[in-house]
Amino acid sequence: MLKRIRPLTIAILGKGGVGKTILTVLMAKSISTDYNYKLLLIDADPTYPHLSKMVKLIPEKSIEDLRADLVNTVLNKQDSADNIAESIDFKVYNAIVESKQFSLFSIGQPEGPGCFCPSNTILRKVIESISKDFDIILIDCEAGLEIVNRLVIQSVDIILIVSDISIRGIDTAEAIRKSAEKFTKYKRMGIIINKVKGDISSILKKLESLHFNLMGIIPEDIKVIEFDLNGKPLIDLPLESESYIKVQKLVKTLLK
């Protein structure tokens, strides 16, 4: 059991649809099945709470809902500033849902049009303030670079960039790596190639030429496709599934 002053924070990034959420779910499954760590999952994709659904934990309120509630309370002068400040921690804990295996909160989606910056600032503060209660935090990020550029994940231990077996996926991964190198403090960063089938030697060659740290290869898994087809939550994927076994190995390496 690792004893830490602050938790090990792992952010999962990548192009849209490459398998960030599935990797997060399978890592959560592995950590909660094989280890005894207090695990927090953060659904940091503001467009749709896929992660929550896949792990069967739906929070009543998102961080965005809390932000909107706070702004309304302040604007309507419904409470004193002191009371509002004191209640923030309590409210944040209300946005966390727990199961026996792990806890989860969701960044949510702003109601109005425009920028996610206010909620991202809150998200960053929230991560800092509650992280002390957990051993490991997994952050399922929104697609692309924005979450790195907006410094939501300014300080993480491990960045996992997911790609599919396309050159476009690798190009996006490379752009994310550059952005992360510029804007984020991290200790380790690597790439996971997902949905692998057939000969991927051209992809491996490209990764080598970019000096990318290849951390894992996950096959295209018929069980994942079947679960998806039937809308089943992926956290229930059988332990013997090909993709899960690969993710289990990855987790073992990361937690060494």
Q: Which residues would be at the binding site for ligand ATP (CB under 6 A)? A: 14, 16-22, 45, 50, 143, 194-195, 218, 220-221, 224-225, 228, 243
- Bridge partners, 138 (sequence order): 10, 41
Q: How far is CA 238 from CA 26, 30, 149, 166, 245, in A?
A: 11, 11, 37, 28, 10
Q: In terms of CB distance, is 191 or 224 closer to ligand ATP? A: 224
User: Using CB distances below 5 to 8 A depending on partner kind, what does residue 9 bind out of Mg ion, ligand ATP, none?
Assistant: none
**Least spacing, CB of residue 102 vs Mg ion, in Å:** 17
Q: In terms of CB distance, is 79 or 146 closer to Mg ion? A: 146
In this structure, what token pair is assigned to residue 205? 């060659």
Instruction: Determine the number of helices (DSSP H) and then strands (DSSP E) in the chain.
Output: 10, 8
**Least spacing, CB of residue 32 vs ligand ATP, in Å:** 18
Q: In terms of CB distance, is 46 or 59 closer to ligand ATP? A: 46
Q: In terms of CB distance, is 7 or 19 closer to ligand ATP? A: 19
Q: How far is CA 132 from CA 92, 128, 135, 232, in A?
A: 14, 8, 8, 33
**Least spacing, CB of residue 60 vs ligand ATP, in Å:** 22
Q: In terms of CB distance, is 14 or 135 closer to ligand ATP? A: 14
- Is residue 106 within the footprint of Mg ion (CB under 5 A)? no
Write each residue from 1 to 20 as x if it is in contact with Mg ion (CB under 5 A), else as -, in one continuous string. -------------------x
**Least spacing, CB of residue 139 vs ligand ATP, in Å:** 12
User: Using CB distances below 5 to 8 A depending on partner kind, what does residue 173 bind out of ligand ATP, Mg ion, none?
Assistant: none
- Bridge partners, 105 (sequence order): 42
Q: In terms of CB distance, is 125 or 232 closer to ligand ATP? A: 232
Report the chain's terminal Cα–Cα distance, integer Å.
11
**Least spacing, CB of residue 142 vs Mg ion, in Å:** 8
Collapsed DSSP state (helix, strand, coil) of residue 245: helix
Question: What does residue 103 show for φ and ψ, rounded to 5 degrees?
Answer: -115, 165
- Which residues inside 29-68 make contact with Mg ion, applying CB under 5 A? 50
**Least spacing, CB of residue 50 vs Mg ion, in Å:** 5
> What are the residues whose beta carbons fall under 8 Å from the beta carbon of 176, sequence distance 6 or more?
13, 14, 144, 145, 148, 161
**Least spacing, CB of residue 144 vs ligand ATP, in Å:** 8
User: Using CB distances below 5 to 8 A depending on partner kind, what does residue 43 bind out of Mg ion, ligand ATP, none?
Assistant: none
Q: Taking Cα atoms as reference points, which of 248, 231, 230 lies closest to residue 239?
A: 248
d(CA 123, CA 149): 14
Residue among 8, 13, 21, 246 that touches Mg ion (CB under 5 A): 21
d(CA 172, CA 116): 22
Which residues contact Mg ion by CB under 5 A? 20-21, 50
